[in-house]
Structure 1
Amino acid sequence: MNVREVIRGWSLLHRVRGVFLFYAVFCALGPLVQIGGTQWLHPSQKALIDGSLFLLVGWWVLGWHRTRFPRLLEPFEWAIIGASIACSDDNDAAVNLVFGAICFRAFYGNTWDWVRRVVYVEAALLLAPLARRIVTPDFEGPSPSLGAAIAVLALLMFVLKNALEQHERMVARERILAQGAAAAVAATDRQTIYEIAARTALGLAGDGTGVRTTLSQGDGWSTHVRAAAGDRTEGLVGLEVHYDRMPQPLHDTFRDGDPIYLEGAECSALNAVADAKVCQGGLFLVPLRTPNGWLGTMSIGAERPLRSEIRTSMVTWAAQVASSLETLQLNEELTRQAFHDSLTGLPNRALVHDRLRLALHTRSEHPLVAFMLLDLDGFKQVNDACGHKAGDELLCEVANRLVGCVRQGDTIGRLGGDEFAVVLPGVRDRTQGLRIAERLVESIRTPVTADGHPVVVGASIGVAFAEHGADSSNLDDLMRSADAAMYQVKATRNGGYAVAGARAVTA
């Protein structure tokens, strides 16, 4: 949704135009009735003038409904009004028609349209009485001083129209900002926030040909575009952007965290920052910064200059996006701390249980799930002889080796102390699972340098297998079986692995 779509849905300006349309139609009724009763006009002439007025009223209603009027046809509107002035014997009715028409039509068009409209009105007020005097020499017509009053009224209506348009755009952008903020807060991943940010920024600009927005992730100097929306965005996602290639004055401004706006030929100063054509009308860059760091950059470019109200909204939106990204990072960190071991970064006991439960309940092309409990042999001696720092380094090295021995999609977790767990969610047969257990034992037996001390430890592994589809009670049984098998291996004091219900295979 963009600004134009929001305005079309509830437009205050359209409603005000409707009020003045009613006023203009009401003012047209007087000349319509008065001309119909004029004695000096031939019936065909009266029918022509009244018919033209009737068509003019219909044209106004149609234009109001479509919210626009073709510029080329406006002279015909004022020609009909001029003819009504010339044929009317009631100056008050003619003046009311002019006032109603100028009040309504002043709500359409730009500054040049207003100037042309005033010229049309003045021409109608001047030429209509002259044409009437050819037939009725004593016809006075509306006062010549009325032209100045009409011009002032047209100016006031035009200023009111501009104020209402600006108010509508402001309210529409506030609504878009509120909707974007709600969507960004509800997002659960960065990419979704990036895409919401780009689409909302495009909506703030009002959409249109030549407008595009991007959001890049990085520390502000070398970033990558993660999302883009708008016109000609093909190939932008993934593009590397080097803001350190900016000219030095712009670089200093950007480094301080301030937005940069370039217009027209100034935009070429950023041609070197990326392998993509820079918009040449207006280009606005806003850093995504929080007190804790730089998260990226949001940009909006167009083939025309960007109004100040668009840039103000972009700054507000960038602050909201940065806040949402920071909140997501905080949530991710809290989640990581809740479900991962602080020393090794491996999943903790709670996450291992969830992964095992998911593996048992998820269908797979392979029938078995393997669960292993691993305990280090000799870890206490390393701690006592070399210190806890060496023990921590040893645990981190063991964690890295374990991760290197399993497949992508398998889970290695630390349950506490020197005890680890392995979840293999899709195992073809027991032989495949036991090969992985052998690799784990051999990997851990390789000497480790911990805090400058060469140390060697072993591993005792208990292995249990289950078929997919087991319920929660089977999960507990599986873990108890693996635990029993592990203690069976530890009882041998030689390390190795054992399958639940079978003899231990020592290292």
Structure 2
Amino acid sequence: MYEFSWDRRIRRPRRRESERSADLELRALRGQLASLQSAGTDLVASDDVDSALHRIVTRAAEAVLAPAYLLAVTAPGREEPLVHSAGVPEAEVRGLAANLLAGGDLGQGAVVVDVASARRSHGRLAALYGTNYGAMGDEASMLAAYAGHAAAALDLIIALEEARLEATRAGALLELAHELAAATDAAAVTDVVAAALPRIVGCTRSSILLWDPGAGVLRASASFGMTDEQSALLHGAELRPEDTPELVGILTDRTPLIIDDSTSSPALRSLLKAISSTDVVAVPLLAGSTFLGVATAGWQAGEAPPSLDGDVLVRLRGVGDQASTALQKARLLETVSHQATHDALTGLPNRVLFLDRLATELPGARHGAQLGVLFCDLDRFKEVNDSLGHAAGDELLRQVSARLRSAVRPVDTVGRLSGDEFAIILPGLAHPEDAHGLAARVSACFAEPFRLEGVDVTVGTSVGVAVHGDGRERTAEQLLREADAAMYLQKQRSSPGARTSRPG
């Protein structure tokens, strides 16, 4: 309310008062202009969107004399609008903000302007006057000027946030490439990729599932962002094509899937519910036409971005391509390593791996947990080769390796050293005599004849025993030589033969 008074008797100073009033108005306009000019600098100085919105409301309150203000904008990557207010009852803020963004009518006592730039429309700003108040003069144009400054500042801040995010993702991609280069097996590859996905894709949880072609199932190899219980449930699950139509689709089409827990198949819906994931993007991991598995990015309820088939999918596919290449390399290394340390014919550890495992067991061989080594040599193996051929000799070696593995304990190691020579590591023996008992069991497994080329072939073996744990220090080579020498002593004491008998 304004109250005016004047003296009718004073006439001559009227012009001076008018000039003085004009000066006051001019100074006020200059003050508003200076405030408007400084607003741009002040808004751009904000570190993030929330800080900028708070400053917008504060600046608007300085420029426009209204009892209350409301600002509502939409930010990229966020489902809920960002709202800042002053003078508005807390219980009314959410409803008024929704009405403001929807373009609804806030009443005659509201001055509403758009917060928009040439690049995008961010939202709306409102100065709210009560029923007994009204906007004065050109406050709407002044509020619009502040809204223009605010839009420009938001453009800049959002661009900076996006640049920082992209820089973070680029750094995460470089780190992923570096870590994948150092990963030497499939388990390490999947762990590295699962941990990197949230930083690169923007998901809150991730997993890598590998395909087992022999069993025809998809199993989790690594996960990230889940509780221990959720991770255990995921790793214990097996997805089969006959139960999961989504898996049939990805196996057939080799295309990504966007999965919603409300529309997925019952088996998959049950798994998603168990791990509290509502939205999942899955991309196949391919090596040429070979299906290796699936990489997934997931979100819990209310966390997923509005669109999952844009940047999210592109980034996930990029990481999936890197994962596929790394898995190929890891499996190739595993194959080469296996070939270098295992016998190609029987699949048993070769001499190099056998001695390495024996050297690893030696430090633990003490009183009460002694270490035994058996050295086995087939009797007259050459005669089998000469009479039935080398193919039959190879088959005999494969059958011998299978019998040896079935005769020893799960903790024991059977190796093929060369030709018809086999050796066995016996860790954790309570007494030296236990090694001789196991040697007798090994000899007994040759009692039954072997079936080769339709012929029953009886082959004997000589077994030498060496035990480490009597206080004497030995190397792996020395212990193996002792077992070898013991085997030759046994061979000299007996003369087992190899005889063949044809059926019928």
* TM-score computed with the length of structure 1 as normaliser: 0.68
Q: Which residues of 2 match residues 70-85 of structure 1 at below 5 A?
A: 74-82=56-64
Aligned runs of 1:36-185 on 2, under 5 Å? 64=46, 68-69=50-51, 74-82=56-64, 114=115, 120=125, 131=136, 158-185=154-181
Cα RMSD, aligned residues only: 4.4
In structure 2, what is the Cα distance between the partners aligned to 1:476 and 1:253?
Answer: 52
Q: Do residues 216 (structure 1) and 209 (structure 2) align?
A: yes
Given the superposition, is the C-alpha separation of residues 488 and 281 from structure 1 closer, same or farther in structure 2, using an over 3 Å criterion?
A: closer
Partner of 2:190: 194
The counterpart of 2:257, out of the listed 255, 260, 273, is: 260
Partner of residue 286 from structure 1, selected from 267, 273, 283: 283
* Matches of 2:399 and 2:242, distance apart in 1: 38
**1: CA distance between counterparts of 2:184 and 2:411?**
22
Q: Report the TM-score, using the length of structure 2 for normalisation.
A: 0.68
Asked if the contact 2:351/2:416 (under 8 Å) is kept, the reply is yes
Corresponding letter in the other structure for 1:480 = R
Deviation readout 1:360-388 (Å, 9 max, x if unpaired): 22355634322221110121111111111
Q: 1:201 to 1:404 in 2, by over 3 A?
A: same
Q: Identify the residue that residue 32 of structure 1 maps to in structure 2.
A: none
Q: What per-residue deviation string (whole Å, max 9, x for no partner) do you get for residues 456-484 of structure 1?
A: 10001121222277655x54433332222
Give, in angstroms, the shift of residue 327 of structure 1.
1.5
State the secondary structure of the residue aligned to 2:271: coil
**Equivalent residues of 1:489, 1:495 under 8 A apart:** no
Q: Separation in 2 of the partners of 1:321 and 1:117? A: 38
SS at match of 2:401: helix
Q: 2:409 matched to 1:413? A: no
Q: Does 1:458 align with 2:454?
A: no
**Equivalent residue letter for 2:350:** N
Q: What are the Cα deviations for residues 335-382 of structure 1, in whole angstroms up to 9, with x where unaligned? A: 111111110011111112112222222355634322221110121111
Code of the residue aligned with 1:432 in structure 2: it is D
Alignment partner, residue 479 of structure 1 = 480
Q: Does 1:225 align with 2:220?
A: yes
1:128-184: per-residue Cα shift (whole Å, max 9, x none)? xx84x7xxxxxxx8996x988877666555445444443333332222122223223
Distance 1:486 1:315, change over 3 A: same
The 5-angstrom pairing of residues 247-326 of structure 1 reads 247=245, 251-252=248-249, 254-262=251-259, 268-273=263-268, 275-277=270-272, 282-291=279-288, 293-302=290-299, 303=301, 304=304, 305-307=306-308, 308-326=310-328
- Can you list the C-alpha shifts for 1:21-79, whole angstroms capped at 9, x where unaligned? xxxxxxxxxxxxxxxxx9859xxx9xxx99xx8xx98x969993576239688544302
Please say if residues 191 and 222 of structure 2, whose CA atoms lie closer than 8 Å, have aligned partners that are also in contact: yes
Q: Give the deviation of 1:488 after TM superposition.
A: 1.9
In structure 2, the CA distance between the partners of 1:225 and 1:389, relative to structure 1 (3 Å rule), is same
Deviations 1:476-501 (A, max 9, x none): 433332222222222234349xxxxx
The superposition leaves residues 416-471 of structure 1 with CA deviations (integer Å, 9 ceiling, x where unpaired) of 11111112122222211001010111102321102322101000112122227765
Name the stretch that deviates more: 276-285 or 377-386: 276-285
CA contact (8 A) 1:441 1:459 kept: yes
Verify the 8 A CA contact 1:403 1:412 in the aligned structure 2. yes
Q: Does the 8 Å contact 1:402/1:412 carry over to 2? A: yes
3-state SS in 2 of match to 1:299 = strand
Q: 1:72 to 1:142 in 2, by over 3 A?
A: closer
**Corresponding residue SS for 1:236:** helix
Q: Give the superposition deviation at 1:223.
A: 0.9
Mapped partners of 1:289, 1:158: distance in 2: 42
Distance 1:237 1:39 in 2: 78
Q: What fraction of aligned residue pairs are identical, expressed as a percent?
A: 28
Q: Is the 8 A contact 2:64 2:139 kept in 1?
A: no
Residues 263-309 of structure 1: CA deviation (Å, up to 9, x unaligned): x68x6134443632367864311111112722211122334334422
Q: Is the 8 A contact 1:288 1:294 kept in 2?
A: yes
Whichever residue aligns with residue 379 of structure 2, its letter is D
Residue 469 and residue 64 in structure 1: after superposition, are their counterparts in 2 closer, same or farther (change >3 A)? farther
1:236 to 234, 237, 240: 234
Question: In the aligned structure 2, how far is the partner of 1:357 from the partner of 1:156?
Answer: 70
Equivalent residue for 1:393? 395
2:375 match: secondary structure: strand
Paired letter, 2:263:
S
**Aligned partners of 1:442 and 1:60: how far apart in 2?**
91
> Is the Cα–Cα contact under 8 Å of residues 341 and 350 in structure 2 kept in the other structure?
yes
Once residues 463 and 361 of structure 2 are traced to their aligned partners in structure 1, the CA distance between those partners, rounded to angstroms, is 20
How many Å separate the matches in 2 of 1:392 and 1:254?
A: 39
